[in-house]
Amino acid sequence: MKICIVGQGYIGLPTAALFSRNHCEVLGVDVNEKIIENLNKGIIHIEEPGIADIIKKAVERKIYAASLTPQKADAFIITVPTPYIAENYSCDLSYVINACESILPYLEQGNTVIIESTIAPMSTDETIKPIFEKAGFTIGKDLYLAHCPERVLPGKIIDELIHNDRIIGGVTPECAIKASEVYGKFVEGELMLTEAKTAELSKCMENTFRDVNIALANELTKICAEIGVNTLDVIEMANKHPRVNLHSPGPGVGGHCLAIDPYFIYAKAPKTAKIIKLARDTNKSMPTFVCDNVRKIISEGKIAVLGVSYKGNTGDDRESPAYEIIADLSKDYEIAIHDPHIGNPNFQNLKEATKDADLILILCDHDEFKNLDYGLISKNMSETIIFDTKNIIKEVPDEIKLFNYGNLYEI
C-alpha cells in the first residue's frame, strides 16, 4: 500500500514513520522546503522518541520520501494545522481545504482520503466532502472519505499511535471500513467505526473535558490565593476521595489541542456552550495571574525563565502560555530564557540565565527543573527566589525562598 501524508509535523511525521515501518511505501508532503530537504536526508525536525531512527532507516530503504507536492497513492492522509479564527472562535479550515485541493490531480477511483486534522463538528460533511464531489467523485462508491482524529501524548506518540483505540469516522459505512483497513496496518488498539460528525465532536470533546478540568484547578488556585488557603494541600486532600481527581493547576494551557479545540464546539453553539467558554476564559487568564504575582514578589530586576515548552520533556512550544508571560514581563524586567529542549540561539544555559537574576520563574515541568543545581543558583543570583508555576519542586535549601501555587497568599 502506498500512503501520501500531507503535513509532516508532530502528527504527520510519526504517522508516516509507522506506516513505513509496517511495509508501506510512504510519501510525506509539506510546504516547508527546508523540512523536505532534511527529511530526504533522514533528518527530522521534531523532538519525539523513536521517530528519528525509523525515518532514517525508511529513507535508506527508500520506502519513505518527502516532497513539496503529492503523488498518486492508495490512501491520502491530511494532517495539517487547524487554528481558530479569533473573531468568532470558529475552526479555520483553510489549510485542510488547500491540502484536499492539492491531492485532487492525483486521486483515482477506489482511493481513500482521511482527515486527521482536528476539525469542528460537521466539517467533513459540509465543507470537505463537497470538494471531492465537485471533482466528480461519489463518496462511498468510488472515493472513500473519513475523519480519523489522533489522540496522542507528546513524548509517547509512537506508543500511543500504536496502542490507543482509534476513532474511524466515515462519511458512509463503506468509508469507515476502507479507512479502518488503512489504520489496520499498524494500530493495535480497537478501531471504532462511526460517523464522521461523531468522530469530529468526540475528538473536540476529549480535549474540552481536559481543558474544563484544568480550568477548575486554576480557578481553585485563584480562590485559595484570595482567601489564604494552600491550593496544593486542598487538591491532595480532595483527591484522596475515591471518585475525585482534581487536575494540577499551572501557568495556562498550551498545545494545538486543549488551547484550541474547545473553541470549535463553542463556535457551533455559543449560546449553549457556556461552561466550555468559561473554562477557556479561565485558562486564558492564567498568564496574567502569573505576571501579577511575579510583580508582587519583585518589583524590578532580572527574571530567569525556565521552560517555554507547553509540555514537559518535549520541544513543543505551540500555543505555549510562556510566550505571553514573557511578553508581559519584558515590559518591566530583564528576561533571560533557558529551555534545554528548544534550540533557540537566543536562549541561554542555566548558569547564564540565572546570573545576577532576582527571580527564577518555572513555566514548564521538564525533568531538568525538578532537581536544580541549587549551589550554582545561590552563587549566581542576586536574590535566591523561585516561583514554581508547575509545582514540581518539593524541597529547596533554607537560603532559597520558594513560591508555588500553595503559598501565593504569603506574598
CA 190 – CA 212 distance, rounded (Å): 27
CA 253 – CA 259 distance, rounded (Å): 6
In one letter, which amino acid is 274?
Answer: K
**Buried-state track 353-374, b at ≥16 Cβ within 10 A, e below 16:** bbbebbbbbbbbbbebbeebeb
CA dist 65 → 36, 174, 224, 289 (Å): 9, 30, 54, 46
> Which residue, among 22, 52, 62, 69, has the nearest Cα to 182 in the 3D structure?
22
CB 405 within 8 A of CB 389: yes
CA quadruple 253, 259, 263, 264: dihedral sign: negative
What is the set of active-site residues? 203, 257
CB 133 within 8 A of CB 164: no
CB 73 within 8 A of CB 112: no
Say how many Å lie between the first and final Cα of the chain, rounded: 62
The 3-state DSSP class for residue 293 equals helix
CB 91 within 8 A of CB 119: yes
State the cell numbers at 363. Answer: 513555566
CB 13 within 8 A of CB 44: yes
CA 345 – CA 382 distance, rounded (Å): 25
Bridge partners (DSSP) of residue 166 are: 191
What would the DSSP string read from start to end of 15-57? HHHHHHHTT-EEEEE-S-HHHHHHHTTT--SS--TTHHHHHHH
CA quadruple 337, 340, 341, 346: dihedral sign: positive
Outline where 118-172 has alpha helix (H).
Answer: 123, 129-134, 157-163
